[in-house]
Amino acid sequence: MPYFDVASSAPLHPVARQALQASLDEGWADPARLYREGRRARLLLDAAREAAAEAVGCRPDELVFTPSGTRAVHLGISGAAAGRRRVGRHLVVSAVEHSSVLHAAAALGAADGGAAESGAVGPARAAQGGVTEVPVDRAGAVSPAAYASALREDTALACLQSANHEVGTEQPVALVAEACRAAGVPLLVDAAQSLGWGPVEADWSLLTASAHKWGGPAGVGLLAVRKGVRFAPQGPVDERESGRTAGFENIPAIVAAAASLRAVRAEAADEAVRLRALVDHIRARVPELVPDVEVVGDPVRRLPHLVTFSCLYVDGETLLHELDRAGFSVSSGSSCTSSTLTPSHVLRAMGVLSEGNVRVSLPLGTPDDEVERFLEVLPGVVSAVRERLGAPVSVTAAGQGASLVVDALGKRCPIPVIELAKVIGDVPVGGTVTVLSDDEAARLDIPAWCEMRGQEYVGEERAERGVAYVVRRLA
Amino acid sequence: MPYFDVASSAPLHPVARQALQASLDEGWADPARLYREGRRARLLLDAAREAAAEAVGCRPDELVFTPSGTRAVHLGISGAAAGRRRVGRHLVVSAVEHSSVLHAAAALGAADGGAAESGAVGPARAAQGGVTEVPVDRAGAVSPAAYASALREDTALACLQSANHEVGTEQPVALVAEACRAAGVPLLVDAAQSLGWGPVEADWSLLTASAHKWGGPAGVGLLAVRKGVRFAPQGPVDERESGRTAGFENIPAIVAAAASLRAVRAEAADEAVRLRALVDHIRARVPELVPDVEVVGDPVRRLPHLVTFSCLYVDGETLLHELDRAGFSVSSGSSCTSSTLTPSHVLRAMGVLSEGNVRVSLPLGTPDDEVERFLEVLPGVVSAVRERLGAPVSVTAAGQGASLVVDALGKRCPIPVIELAKVIGDVPVGGTVTVLSDDEAARLDIPAWCEMRGQEYVGEERAERGVAYVVRRLA
């Protein structure tokens, strides 16, 4: 039963389990106490901090353990922004950050009365106070120049992930860090997806990560704040972890997190090569095996173990369900928005197809034959889903009139695109199809379909109900 | 090696360990995912929530798991206060709440520009906005009438612990809850110290607790919010746990927390009787075995397993160190202020002696002979510490003059009291001793010494350096 969703959460690494069990007996007491049980707990905590700091590439006194990666992000952003309140309240983020970053930035922006602003194309524009979202290219990466131009005199903090959690694209963190350094703006790097593979090779100011992403236990995040970075912890005073995160330390889990990070790093070089080849294989084979697929994310500058593709005319939830029935656990769209009806903000920012989206993220040690079996199963699963939805198998060539209107109101992704594909052959080359839709995903997926199909996306207009998307047949 | 500090943190209960280990394999995946690993994790989480809710006495959908008891308090107070912002911003707390409650209230008070106000004696007075601290009696309990009179039209939230963490005194939660209900003010009950012993039998609105206090693992707190209570979660948006606490759920720890709460409850009735008798024994024997001791806290309305006493002329840290060398792990003063030089806010609010303070909190299953051994060891340890500090063995009767001034500037607790005790016999009955001290603990301990010794505490005056404490010899 292959589990291919390590980007959501990794199974507990054997070293983590061992360390956790060993420290349950030694690590339950309060490390602030002076009696032997407290001293033992303190020793474990100190040793874990040293090990984690070494793996992160910082000093032990620069690193605290938080209850989760999300909390590390929230605390890091609020503390760093507050530390620079006199400079200003403007924040810069990439448009494809994890939701914890975007939500923390939005919360600060809202508290300050500033407006969030995003733009999927064109240079980042500045909002008064608030948050500037730097757009990404079709591969999911920010341009260092665009990022640099978003930095302002009143920018309190810049945030950039080391690699994207949905499509695996690595960000140009080192170049962005240089630009931030030059502008005197601290840079927070969310390294949640990459820390198991290696340290972030850049001049970051703050770094966050999450242990359960690398095979550590749940309940442990990391927040590193370089000496000299102005930092003012927010929220009620608490004496634990240098006052940077509140609550009793979870020492057995912290010990397990640090031990497994070391263990995972020891395997990282070899596994990176092996899994990269497996992912290259998936990237090459999926478009050969499944028609109408778009593999997204940077093919080279990417995490070794992660690949994402989208299948036209397929509903992601159904696809996941069918893959689960076939024994494969994968995820779709943004991990944090799978319960909503809006498409992933990452895919939207990239301007790529979001329907039928599948993210495959391979655990360490994934055997080759599991990947082969996935490639065997996938085509049948996709075509069964398409068949059930009535997706077009081939485009008909009959020309009927110069324009057609398709009413897809009230129909959810991927139906609007399926209806479009069914009738595009019914208009002559140069004719148009107008799709009426009130599904938010259509705004992303109809232009993406046009690009994949070599048709012209003319644009959208507000309609009496929903939106009218106009497509011109070119081929 | 007896561990008598379960009020700080309890060793992992065998049931917690078993449940934790069993769920490491089943509970690591993201419970929001639809594939089998996610569904398994969701089942475990749901079952744990039902078990915990039953033990708390609430509906499962009223209860969320937080990363710690401290976070439960922070989130509960900020969310409940924000939910009633239109009513007002005034908060009511007891003066002896856990520091997490006081700090969360202070953070809100500071954010609102209100002033915190406390009074150890007399009725609670109202501050504009801000926080009213309801005083406690010498046993550590609030008066329900005083608490009720602190409630105002603009009171957003009231907080009261079920039982005190330092002295074990139970608060009149049911009566205070009635008063809050009558005033239309929600009551948050911090049940951290008592939940293992039983549900809080009162009409509370919010309840918080911490698993590692009852033998569950670290990393799990509970926050229950009754249906109908206005609650507006603060901080960045997050979809987990009904939006009330952020970050990936720590399911193995949550499962262990719920399982151990049930297990501890099954032992609670019998152990409460047995440990109550052991604590009664300690309460009776310590003053017989050790001279100049004050046992504090309510002798009857109290937690079964916890007793606190203070030893005159003894430095708490040294006493703890010597008890640790003798094999006993106990704590002193407030668990959260042991690293500071100020006396515990709880003992201060009670107006009792803080020097040489020892808290004994017995784990479930503590054998009688460990308690006997503690009582054998204690007198020798105390007298050795006193001897080293040069404490008076008996008061001399020589009269010298009508008044004396003792310069104890720069000397830390318990030296100022020791110096006072050494010279009180040197003034005639009716004469005074003035102690100059710049140690914060003296403000509490000199009046407490007077009460224990039958001497009159005249009062304090500001001196050129420090404070002059004036004592009149009566006997």
The whole-number pLDDT of residue B119 equals 41
Q: Between B130 and B402, whose confidence is greater?
A: B130
- CA A159 to CA A181: how far, in whole Å? 13
Assess whether pLDDT exceeds 60 at residue A24. Answer: yes
In this complex, which of A33, A67, A329 lies closest to B35 when CB atoms are compared? A329
Give the position of tokens 């606190």: B308
- CA A237 to CA A73: how far, in whole Å? 18
E strand or H helix at B17: helix B14-24
Interface touch A24/B12, C-beta < 8 Å: yes
Asked whether the ipTM of the predicted complex exceeds the cut of 0.95, the reply is: no
**pLDDT tens-place string over residues B391-436:** 876 443 334 457 888 999 988 888 899 999 999 988 888 899 999 9
- CA B295 to CA B139: how far, in whole Å? 10
Chain A residues with CB-CB distance to B100 below 8 A: 236, 238, 246
Assess whether pLDDT exceeds 60 at residue A116. Answer: no
Amino acid identity at A183: A
Assess whether pLDDT exceeds 70 at residue B357. Answer: yes
Cβ neighbours, 10 Å, residue A143:
17
Q: What is the mean pLDDT of residues A279-299?
A: 95
**pLDDT tens-place string over residues A51-99:** 999 999 999 999 999 999 999 999 999 999 999 999 999 999 999 999 9
Probe site for chain B from A1, A4, A28, A188 (most B CB atoms < 10 A):
A28
- CA A102 to CA A346: how far, in whole Å? 11
CA distances to A25, A46, B145, B349 from A36, in Å = 13, 15, 44, 30
The C-alpha of B424 sits at a distance from chain A's nearest C-alpha, in angstroms, of: 35
The whole-number pLDDT of residue B323 equals 95
% chain B with pLDDT above 90:
74
Confidence of residue A199 (pLDDT cuts 50, 70, 90): very high
Amino acid identity at A362: L
Assess whether pLDDT exceeds 90 at residue B314. Answer: no
Classify residue A113 by burial, with Cβ atoms within 10 Å: 0-12, 13-18, 19+: exposed
Mean pLDDT estimate for chain A: 90
Give the position of tokens 């989130």: B75
Q: Between B307 and B452, whose confidence is greater?
A: B307
| Nearest Cα residue in chain A from B109 | A236
The whole-number pLDDT of residue B110 equals 67
Structure tokens belonging to residue B130: 């801000």
Assess whether pLDDT exceeds 50 at residue A103. Answer: yes
Chain A residues with CB-CB distance to B235 below 8 A: 74, 107
Probe site for chain B from A1, A21, A34, A212 (most B CB atoms < 10 A):
A34
Q: What is the mean pLDDT of residues A280-297?
A: 94
- CA A469 to CA B435: how far, in whole Å? 87
- CA A32 to CA A36: how far, in whole Å? 11
Positions of B annotated as catalytic residues are: 336
Confidence of residue B354 (pLDDT cuts 50, 70, 90): confident
Look at residues B232, B204, B209, B165 and name the one whose alpha carbon lies nearest to residue B66. Answer: B209
Q: Write the DSSP symbol of residue A12.
A: P
The residues near A41 (Cβ < 8 Å, ≥ 6 apart) are: A26, A27, A28, A29, A30, A31, A33, A249, A251
Is there a contact between B139 and B350 (Cβ–Cβ < 8 Å)?
yes
The whole-number pLDDT of residue B315 equals 84
Q: Per-residue DSSP letters for A214-262?
A: TT--TT-EEEEE-TTS-----SS---SGGGTS-S---HHHHHHHHHHHH
The whole-number pLDDT of residue B339 equals 53
Q: Per-residue DSSP letters for B145-182?
A: HHHHHH--TTEEEEEEESB-TTT-BBP-HHHHHHHHHH
Confidence of residue A315 (pLDDT cuts 50, 70, 90): confident
Q: What is the mean pLDDT of residues A426-451?
A: 90
The whole-number pLDDT of residue B340 equals 56
Assess whether pLDDT exceeds 60 at residue B127. Answer: no
Structure tokens belonging to residue A158: 């810049």
**pLDDT tens-place string over residues B224-281:** 999 999 999 998 988 888 888 889 999 999 999 999 999 999 999 999 999 999 999 9
Write down all domains in chain A, each with its CATH number in brackets: 14-264 (3.40.640.10), 268-389 (3.90.1150.10), 403-472 (3.30.110.40)
In this complex, which of B67, B324, B329 lies closest to A247 when CB atoms are compared? B67
The whole-number pLDDT of residue A111 equals 63
Q: Between B76 and B440, whose confidence is greater?
A: B76
Mean pLDDT estimate for chain B: 90
Q: Between A227 and A336, whose confidence is greater?
A: A227
Look at residues B97, B184, B201 and name the one whose alpha carbon lies nearest to residue B148. Answer: B184
**pLDDT tens-place string over residues B47-103:** 999 999 999 999 999 999 999 999 999 999 999 999 999 999 999 999 999 999 999
Give the position of tokens 């290259």: A280
**pLDDT tens-place string over residues A131-157:** 999 999 999 999 999 999 999 999 999
Q: Between A331 and A115, whose confidence is greater?
A: A331
